[in-house]
Amino acid sequence: MGSSLGGLILIAFATSYLFVLAAAALIGMGSSVFHPESSRVARLASGGHHGLAQSVFQVGGNFGTALGPLFAAFIVLPYGQRTIIWFSLVALIGMVLLAIIGTWYGKTLKLKRVSMDEEREAMAKATHGKVARSIAILMALTFSKHFYLVSITSFYIFYLIHTFGISVQNAQLHLFLFLAAVAAGTVIGGPIGDRIGSRRVIWWSILGVLPFTLALPYVGLFWSAVLSVIIGLILASAFPAILVYAQALIPGRVGMVAGLFFGLAFGIAGIGAAVLGWLADVTSIEFVYHICAFLPAIGLLAAFLPETAKPKRARNRAKR
């Protein structure tokens, strides 16, 4: 959070592209260091509802991301770059909150030894080869999800302006609709995974969004907004399920698994933005959306993921 605070202050006063890059690097570094350990804390506080805890944890970031375009449209654009300095207060509050949470976390680790019996049971019959293959599949699914997401978060505004001739503020509002749907989908995905199993959520989320992504480049402005909301809802439900599933595959390595997948997600976002930006310059932004529409087809790989232990509620119903 200290790194993010420094980045926000720097970007508020940046006078050159180099300073903007440095500020973005500080914010990105702060976010990437924050997520793996925070995921471990969320799991520790979950009370066994791992999907719900992961969703609640992630939706904070998604909600903040959704508010970004609104702040840009109604605060930064009208009142100037220096207004960003006020958002650094949120990072400062976050530092205070994390100090309190860190104290609780340290005491909890000393007083409570977290049981991993259910996690070991989940993949007791799986070989190391199956675990490695499953992790590789999950990484491929994470690639397809976040590569498509970056096509929206980075270029959706330019696509709407170029294709439909709307204003920057109007385009920011359309982006907010999509990001709000992503936040809602994140909240939905975790609890559903606790009820029916993470594998089913992964399968439905990644592959189920394909018809809508294929249709997006061919519809008008109104249906673009509608489809973007549907895509955000469905696609976002996958990531909490992917993390919970991967953590069950490798018991006792919650932080490592979270770091692996958050790192992959953030890395893909950075590389994907650069690749898609280059591709848009070489061809057109419409071509980018036609190509990216097929990315969710990688979700077919979810068919090769092994079944894990039944969710708690399903086991309880079976006992009855």
- Of the pLDDT bands very low, low, confident and very high (cuts 50, 70, 90), residue 113 is low
Q: What is the dihedral of CA 250, 251, 256, 259, to 10 degrees?
A: 80
For 9-13, 45-49, 211-215, 310-314, which range has the lowest pLDDT when averaged over its residues? 310-314
Residue 34 confidence (pLDDT): 84
Q: How far apart are CA 300 and CA 291, in angstroms?
A: 17
Non-local CB neighbours of 27 within 8 Å, separated by 6+ positions:
3, 4, 7, 8, 11
- Of the pLDDT bands very low, low, confident and very high (cuts 50, 70, 90), residue 311 is low
pTM, full prediction: 0.70
Domains of the chain: 1-44+81-110 (no CATH), 52-79+125-314 (1.20.1250.20)
Q: How far apart are CA 249 and CA 244, in angstroms?
A: 9
Residue-wise pLDDT tens digits, 162-189: 889 998 889 988 988 998 888 888 888 7
Q: Look at the block and give the residue holding tokens 């293959």.
A: 133
Residue-wise pLDDT tens digits, 117-150: 444 554 444 556 778 888 888 888 888 888 888 8
Q: How far apart are CA 34 and CA 4, in angstroms?
A: 10
Report the Cα–Cα distance between both ends of the chain, in Å, rounded.
47
Fill in the DSSP letter of residue 250.
Answer: S
Q: How far lies 290's CA from each of 150, 194, 244, 263, 280, in Å? A: 14, 35, 32, 27, 11
**From the centroid of its chain, how far is CA 93?**
23
Rg over CA atoms, the chain:
20
